[in-house]
Amino acid sequence: MTLDSPLPAGYRFRRLTADDDRAVIDLDSWAFPVPVEPDEIAKMPSPLSWDRAVGVEADGGSPGGSPLVAMHASYPFTHFPVPGGTLPTAGLTWVGVHPQHRRRGLASAMLDLHLARCRERGEPLSALYAAEYAIYGRFGYGRAADDVRVTLPRGAALRDVPGASEHTVRIEHADREHHGDLVAAVHRAAGRDAAGLGVNRPGWASPETPELQAHRWHDAAAFRQGFETRRIVVVERAGEPRGYALLRRKLDWDVTGPRGTVNVGEAVALDAAAARALWGVLVDLDLMSETRPFVLAPDDPLLGLLVDRRSADLRVADNVWVRLVDVPTALAGRQYAADVDVTLAVTDTRLGENDGVWRLRASAFGEATCDRSDVAAADADLALDVRALGAAYLGGTSLSELGGAGMVTERAPGALARASTAFGWPVAPVCSWVF
């Protein structure tokens, strides 16, 4: 795997291994300051896939410290959900540069190396969560999904759903041994057939590696911020799990009485009745005054269940960002919501292989092909940067919205409306956990 990519003078790439764990934690705590000592973090299982972690060393290093001054890594998603299918995808993560070495081009060099390695591994997509919004557009990533954050008042009124009362509820300490398989199975089922529509939910990635799973189930006291250990609510119908939520509570008091908070890490239900049963529990826990789900899809059933949506103080956040590393493979590797036959003049200043005109042909919810076209760029139906293609790829941002912001240019009248419909998807993309 290549490490042969240009860096500013005085720096070199080096593969990282498990022996670098402590130096990686020290560097990471420079990039992401947290109120937890590196010694404590070192006791946690590392989520990294070391064969995909690359460091940057500086000549001379830092005085009294490690020569490691920057790093990046990626998680392998062999089955990252895209509209109507899955594709191998690199989940870029742990991008960090020591503050003393920032703005010298280290992140740019790491991103170029990352994209080259994705191509070598045959991963047509890369996805990430962005620490800051303005960083990743220049590297060809587009904001591909949004999620919503809400704060639910205690006892928030929920619409009735027939069948909800037929569920039983278990509230237990959450641990991997007892709940790992259940959580994985319900999460997978919810992504495969979102809300029983017979179509999948793009972006709904699973933590695939043993390292990531161990890290996600590890419940480090140092990161709980006064909240209790992790708990789980499981709703079942006829003995079969139909939904779950991972949560923690924290009890506070003021003169008017208890004002506890419920933080919900992940809440997943397989149908409307299970969602109603689950949320009925989550908004009515004794001594709590509000419930805060972490990440919800913009079309999560909870939003439709709320009788008064305004009471939920809804805010929108960017969720996963997507980068098409191999444009034809990525475009042919998803399904489309309508028949489409369109030529796209794609600009990609970092990966020249993607640059040029591509002809995409697909039948609604069926096969798709994408081939290089000999149409001149000026005559293609639509012109767009690879970043806009990434934003539209999971069906969460419409090409017409991007066109309205000047990020897609229509050359053939009607092409933007048709392509926009085809690139859409009946289920909003979202990833339910941050990687």
Ligand X SMILES: CC(=O)SCCNC(=O)CCNC(=O)[C@H](O)C(C)(C)COP(=O)(O)OP(=O)(O)OC[C@H]1O[C@@H](n2cnc3c(N)ncnc32)[C@H](O)[C@@H]1OP(=O)(O)O
Residue with smaller CB distance to ligand X, 102 or 411: 102
Residue with smaller CB distance to ligand X, 116 or 340: 116
Q: Please pick, from the candidates 14, 102, 176, 411, the single residue that binds ligand X as defined by CB under 6 A.
A: 102
Binding region for ligand X (CB under 6 A) out of 17-25, 96-104, 252-260, 311-319: 96-104
Residue with smaller CB distance to ligand X, 11 or 425: 11
Least distance from C-beta 135 to ligand X, angstroms?
5
Least distance from C-beta 33 to ligand X, angstroms?
9
User: In sequence order, which residues have a C-beta less than 8 Å from that of residue 178 and are 6 or more positions away?
Assistant: 172
Least distance from C-beta 93 to ligand X, angstroms?
5
136 classed as catalytic: yes
Distances (CA, A) of 301 to 147, 267, 297: 13, 11, 9
- Is 103 one of the annotated binding-site residues? yes
For residue 185, the Cα-to-chain-centroid distance in whole angstroms is: 19
Contact call for residue 94 and ligand X (CB under 6 A): yes
Three-state DSSP class for 387?
helix
> 81 pairs with which residues across the strands?
86
- The count of residues in the chain is 435
d(CA 187, CA 180): 11
d(CA 27, CA 96): 8
d(CA 328, CA 243): 37
Least distance from C-beta 41 to ligand X, angstroms?
16
- Is 96 one of the annotated binding-site residues? yes
Residue with smaller CB distance to ligand X, 130 or 184: 130
Contact call for residue 33 and ligand X (CB under 6 A): no
- Is 105 one of the annotated binding-site residues? yes
Least distance from C-beta 433 to ligand X, angstroms?
14
With CB under 6 A, what is the number of residues at the site for ligand X?
Answer: 23
d(CA 394, CA 354): 18
Residue with smaller CB distance to ligand X, 141 or 425: 141
**Beta-carbon-side half-sphere exposure of residue 253 (alpha carbons within 13 Å):** 2
Contact call for residue 134 and ligand X (CB under 6 A): yes
- Window 286 to 345, contacts with ligand X (CB under 6 A): none
State the virtual CA torsion across 20, 23, 27, 29 in degrees, nearest 10.
Answer: 110
Residue 348, amino acid = D
Are 244 and 231 contacting, i.e. CB atoms less than 8 angstroms apart?
Answer: no
Token duo for residue 60: 């001379």
Contact call for residue 93 and ligand X (CB under 6 A): yes
Contact call for residue 376 and ligand X (CB under 6 A): no
Q: Which residues are annotated as a binding site for acetyl-CoA?
A: 95-97, 103-108
Catalytic positions: 136, 435
Q: Which residues are annotated as a binding site?
A: 95-97, 103-108
What residues make contact with ligand X under the rule CB under 6 A? 31-32, 92-97, 102-108, 128-132, 134-135, 138
